[in-house]
């Protein structure tokens, strides 16, 4: 889908991309990086809108330097920022954008109705966009990127500004873009945690350099931390401690979850090795007769991956995990 | 599945719910020039508030009516009094109504480009097949066309009225044609200036004020200076009529006035009624075309920087 070869972009004072070579196949690919890591610059180059200083890039087998127009006809783009005029309805706006992608008028209207339904906009699509919630606006932005049935979409921070529920819905929708619609996705975010649940493949860039590119399964194996919270009972006035001891007896080390945060003392953190860890926790809690309040994967902050890769993954110390607690959840 | 749902199987009931799922699109993709034309027609419609809220239709439609009503009245008078000629030349009409035209440019030029900048819709356009030049051309052509409709419609009213009043056909047709050329030039010039000014600011209010300032205030200032020059030239025996023509180069309205009085047989609205000589007139044409070209160039430069 996308291939870059020592792609560089230098501005007078900053180097936005530094000899980036990456291959992206079909499916959902996450592009992760801190703000200013070069994500948006990369998308700009891939759309053929900004020439690279050095190196080359291909999208759908077309060279970005010479075939920009052809690429943009087959690719959708959802920007990070607001881009919707408030005084027109979603239908009108998306029809217009469909025609701007070259769809004939009738097809543009049909595709608009279909696409808005797929992203979850129904009756409200006839009202002016100005009155929409952030979640609805994000859906309109997504719809305009999909309306011409592209082969590939670039989604720039699609979960920005959404509440946790809206975030999950958006991530589900992104997953469906590939599984149901058959469109490949390149989605950027600065949160690795939300991408590893959605993407098949994650590319991490920092300071314009490729830090890591691997499938998500490889990622989660090394980084999944499980958070557990249990109730107290009369038999076990300190349920947390009881579970900790029981797990310890079974040979599973519980990490120090205090982290100095209020309430964090009740949360146990442990490294999940796979499905057996989940089963073990369930059995232990059930044996003790406690109630399991939560068992969830901690969202990892991107900085954790950076420190990991800088220091070598074998030395992931407690100090870093503490930091993860601070950022997580 | 063990459970069976009583679906729409009742006889005679045609209603069914289909889950169509996602349908891909295999139809034609008409590409860049079609997209440019779509942007043109959307912008042209937008210039009269079509496809937008009721509120945004009010001003352009009102101005359109204001432009046409005097023409209709003139025609009515001409027909009723069986006059031998229309009270106003075709070429003169737009100059008389310049305030209305300026107001229209001031309201619609920012509407056309500042909105896209303010709500950051421009990057969406450029993420599609069109290029910077296509965007600029579509917007320029759309506003110029909208202005042409605004300025040519009253001329058409005058022309039809003149024919109804059985005025001389050849005469009227020639005048009408000259009027159309003049308003076409005016439309291009005003659209260019309006868009350049409006494209600088994403704030609509600033855009409106700046366009009014450039079009109307410059006309006021130039007319005043011309009147002073005229008064002085009367004092020293017509020596400085050249100055009137030179001053006229500095406002869009007098520029058009100069061009048409030199080449399109119009009577000049300059003080003293003396338009530029044909030598000076050539300069007027050059300056007008130069300004139109410069506006286009500036717009191209402005939008080259506006990427994503």
In a domain, A313, yes or no: no
Number of domains in chain B: 1
Write down the pLDDT at residue A315. Answer: 39
ipTM attached to this prediction: 0.84
Write down the pLDDT at residue B20. Answer: 66
Q: Considering only CB atoms, which chain A residues are within 8 Å of B112?
A: none
Q: Considering only CB atoms, which chain A residues are within 8 Å of B52?
A: 87-88
Q: How many CB atoms lie within 10 A of CB A295?
A: 16
Please indicate, yes or no, whether residues A122 and A270 belong to a single structural domain of this protein: no
Identify the residue among B37, B38, B53 best suited for mutation to test binding to A, counting A beta carbons within 10 A and taking the highest: B38
List CB contacts of B163: < 8 A, sequence separation 6 or more.
Answer: B169, B172
Q: Considering only CB atoms, which chain A residues are within 8 Å of B22?
A: 114, 118, 180-182
- Checking if the pLDDT of B80 tops 90, the result is no
Tell me if B127 and A118 make a contact (CB, 8 A cut-off). Answer: no
B64 and chain A in contact, CB less than 8 A? no
In a domain, B305, yes or no: no
Write down the pLDDT at residue A257. Answer: 53
Whole-model pTM: value is 0.81
pLDDT in tens, B104-113: 999 999 989 9
Tell me if B307 and A104 make a contact (CB, 8 A cut-off). Answer: no
Give the highest mean pLDDT range of B83-97, B170-184, B244-258. B170-184
Please indicate, yes or no, whether residues A17 and A152 belong to a single structural domain of this protein: yes
Average pLDDT of B49-57? 84
In a domain, A326, yes or no: no
Lowest average pLDDT, out of B7-11, B182-186, B255-259, goes to B7-11
Number of domains in chain A: 2
Band (pLDDT 50/70/90 cuts) for residue B52 is confident
Write down the pLDDT at residue B60. Answer: 94
Write down the pLDDT at residue B277. Answer: 78
In a domain, A323, yes or no: no
Taking a C-beta distance cutoff of 8 angstroms, is the pair A170, A28 a contact? no
In a domain, B23, yes or no: no
Please indicate, yes or no, whether residues A239 and A211 belong to a single structural domain of this protein: no
Please indicate, yes or no, whether residues A52 and A102 belong to a single structural domain of this protein: yes
Q: Considering only CB atoms, which chain A residues are within 8 Å of B116?
A: 85
Final residue of a domain: which of A220, A255, A281? A220
In a domain, B9, yes or no: no
* Domain limits for position A189: 2-220
Nearest C-alpha in A relative to B33: A102
Please indicate, yes or no, whether residues A205 and A247 belong to a single structural domain of this protein: no
Helices (H) and strands (E) in chain B, counts: 12, 0
Cα separation, B210 vs B200, whole angstroms: 10
Average pLDDT of B171-195? 94
Q: Considering only CB atoms, which chain B residues are within 8 Å of A81?
A: 120
What six digits make up the tokens of B161?
Answer: 């009225």
A293 and chain B in contact, CB less than 8 A? no
Taking a C-beta distance cutoff of 8 angstroms, is the pair A240, A257 a contact? no
Band (pLDDT 50/70/90 cuts) for residue B14 is low
Taking a C-beta distance cutoff of 8 angstroms, is the pair A87, A127 a contact? no
- Checking if the pLDDT of B178 tops 80, the result is yes
> What is residue A187's three-state secondary structure?
strand
Minimal Cα–Cα distance from B58 to chain A, Å? 15
Comparing A45 with B15, the larger pLDDT belongs to A45
A131 and chain B in contact, CB less than 8 A? no
Low-confidence ranges of chain A (pLDDT < 70): 217-224, 256-265, 298-329
Identify the residue among A47, A72, A87, A100 best suited for mutation to test binding to B, counting B beta carbons within 10 A and taking the highest: A100
Q: Considering only CB atoms, which chain B residues are within 8 Å of A75?
A: 127
Write down the pLDDT at residue A111. Answer: 95
Give chain B's mean pLDDT: 86
pLDDT in tens, B282-304: 899 999 999 999 999 999 998 88
- Checking if the pLDDT of B16 tops 80, the result is no
In a domain, B10, yes or no: no
Identify the residue among A38, A92, A102, A120 best suited for mutation to test binding to B, counting B beta carbons within 10 A and taking the highest: A102
Lowest average pLDDT, out of B80-94, B130-144, B260-274, goes to B260-274
* Domain limits for position B149: 33-296
Write down the pLDDT at residue A223. Answer: 54
The DSSP 8-state label assigned to residue B196 in this structure reads H
First-last CA distance in chain B: 51
- By Cβ distance, the residue of B25, B52, B129 closest to A87 is B52
- Checking if the pLDDT of B133 tops 60, the result is yes
Minimal Cα–Cα distance from A229 to chain B, Å? 38
Write down the pLDDT at residue B266. Answer: 77
A200 and chain B in contact, CB less than 8 A? no
Write down the pLDDT at residue A219. Answer: 59
Average pLDDT of B142-146? 97
Please indicate, yes or no, whether residues A284 and A166 belong to a single structural domain of this protein: no
pLDDT in tens, B191-237: 999 999 999 888 888 999 999 988 888 998 998 998 888 888 766 55
Band (pLDDT 50/70/90 cuts) for residue B307 is low
Write down the pLDDT at residue A217. Answer: 67
């Amino acid at each position: 889908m996308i291939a870059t070869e020592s792609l560089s972009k230098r501005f007078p004072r900053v180097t936005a991309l530094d000899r980036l070579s990456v291959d992206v196949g079909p499916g959902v690919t996450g592009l992760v990086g801190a703000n200013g890591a070069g994500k948006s610059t990369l998308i700009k180059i891939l759309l053929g809108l900004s020439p690279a200083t050095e190196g080359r890039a291909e999208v759908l087998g077309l060279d970005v330097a010479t075939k920009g127009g052809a690429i943009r006809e087959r690719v959708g783009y959802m920007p990070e920022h607001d881009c919707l005029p408030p005084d027109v309805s979603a239908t009108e706006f998306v029809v217009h954008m469909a025609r701007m992608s070259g769809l004939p008028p009738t097809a543009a209207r049909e595709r608009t109705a279909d696409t808005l339904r797929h992203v979850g906009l129904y009756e409200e699509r006839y009202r002016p966009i100005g009155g929409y919630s952030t979640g609805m606006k994000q859906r309109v932005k997504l719809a305009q990127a999909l309306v011409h049935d592209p082969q590939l979409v670039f989604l720039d921070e699609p979960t920005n500004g959404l509440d946790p529920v809206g975030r999950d819905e958006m991530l589900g929708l992104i997953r469906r873009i590939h599984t149901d619609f058959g469109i490949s996705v390149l989605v950027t975010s600065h949160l690795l945690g939300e991408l590893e649940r959605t993407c098949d493949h994650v590319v991490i860039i920092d300071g314009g350099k490729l830090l890591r590119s691997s499938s998500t399964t490889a990622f989660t194996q090394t980084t999944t931390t499980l958070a557990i919270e249990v109730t107290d009972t009369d038999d076990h006035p300190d349920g947390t401690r009881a579970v900790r001891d029981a797990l310890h007896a079974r040979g599973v080390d519980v990490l120090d979850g205090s982290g100095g945060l209020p309430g964090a003392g009740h949360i146990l953190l442990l490294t999940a090795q796979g499905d057996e860890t989940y089963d073990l926790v369930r059995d232990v809690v059930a044996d003790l007769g406690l109630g399991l309040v939560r068992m969830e994967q901690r969202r990892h902050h991107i900085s954790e991956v950076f420190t990991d890769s800088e220091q070598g993954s074998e030395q992931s110390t407690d100090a870093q995990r503490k930091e993860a607690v601070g950022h997580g959840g | 599945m063990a459970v069976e749902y009583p679906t729409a199987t009742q006889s005679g009931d045609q209603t069914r719910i289909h889950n169509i799922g996602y349908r891909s699109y295999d139809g034609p993709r008409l590409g860049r020039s079609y997209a440019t034309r779509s942007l043109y027609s959307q912008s042209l419609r937008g210039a009269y508030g079509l496809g937008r809220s009721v509120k945004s239709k009010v001003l352009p439609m009102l101005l359109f009516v204001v432009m046409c009503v005097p023409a209709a009245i003139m025609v009515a008078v001409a027909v009723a009094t069986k006059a031998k000629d229309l009270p106003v030349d075709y070429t003169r009409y737009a100059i008389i109504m310049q305030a209305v035209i300026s107001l229209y440019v001031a309201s619609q030029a920012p509407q056309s480009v500042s909105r896209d900048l303010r709500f950051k819709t421009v990057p969406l356009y450029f993420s599609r097949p069109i290029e910077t030049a296509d965007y600029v051309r579509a917007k320029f052509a759309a506003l110029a066309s909208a202005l042409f409709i605004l300025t040519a419609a009253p001329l058409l009213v005058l022309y039809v009225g003149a024919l109804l009043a059985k005025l001389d056909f050849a005469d009227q047709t020639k005048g009408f044609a000259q009027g159309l050329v003049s308003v076409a030039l005016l439309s291009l010039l005003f659209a260019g200036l309006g868009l350049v000014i409006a494209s600088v600011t994403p704030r609509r209010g600033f855009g409106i004020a700046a366009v009014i300032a450039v079009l109307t205030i410059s006309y006021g200032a130039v007319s005043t200076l011309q009147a002073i020059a005229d008064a002085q030239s009367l004092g020293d025996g017509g020596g400085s009529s050249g100055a009137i023509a030179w001053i006229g180069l500095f406002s869009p309205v007098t520029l058009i006035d100069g061009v048409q009085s030199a080449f399109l047989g119009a009577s000049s609205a300059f003080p003293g009624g003396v338009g530029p000589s044909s030598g000076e007139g050539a300069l007027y044409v050059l300056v007008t075309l130069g300004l139109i070209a410069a506006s286009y160039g500036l717009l191209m430069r402005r939008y080259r920087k506006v990427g994503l």
